[in-house]
Amino acid sequence: MTYDPFDTFRQAELFFAADQPAEAARLLDEVLAEAPESTAALELQARALFNSAQLRRAEEVLLVLVERRPDDAWVHVALARTLERQGRREEAAGRRRVAEALGFRP
């Protein structure tokens, strides 16, 4: 039997939807080991890490997403929220300004 990262990604989606973000993040580690180019897996991993309060790891993943998609307002907002939860309000404000410049409206 061969490993299929897509099947594991789907399992991670199910765990995330079932409010088990830590398990989703663990599965996504496996997916990203096999498919590091998967932006969808990175985005879901960032959400899972944020929801499971693994904020430093969420920040790391979101910074990768910012590099890949600098014009995506959602990524900047997610990074801002992650920074805010870590008490880093000034950094978060900068990310929010970028998101607003990209068209994000709360």
Banded model confidence at residue 106, pLDDT cuts 50, 70, 90 = confident
Tokens, residue 45: 């991993």
- Please write the tens of the pLDDT for every residue from 43-95: 999 999 999 999 999 999 999 999 999 999 999 999 999 999 999 999 999 99
Distance CA 2, CA 34 (A): 12
- Please write the tens of the pLDDT for every residue from 24-37: 999 999 999 999 99
Banded model confidence at residue 2, pLDDT cuts 50, 70, 90 = confident
Looking at residue 37, its amino acid is E
Q: What Rg value do the Cα atoms of the chain yield, rounded?
A: 14
> Which domains occur in the chain, in start order?
5-101 (1.25.40.10)
Banded model confidence at residue 3, pLDDT cuts 50, 70, 90 = confident
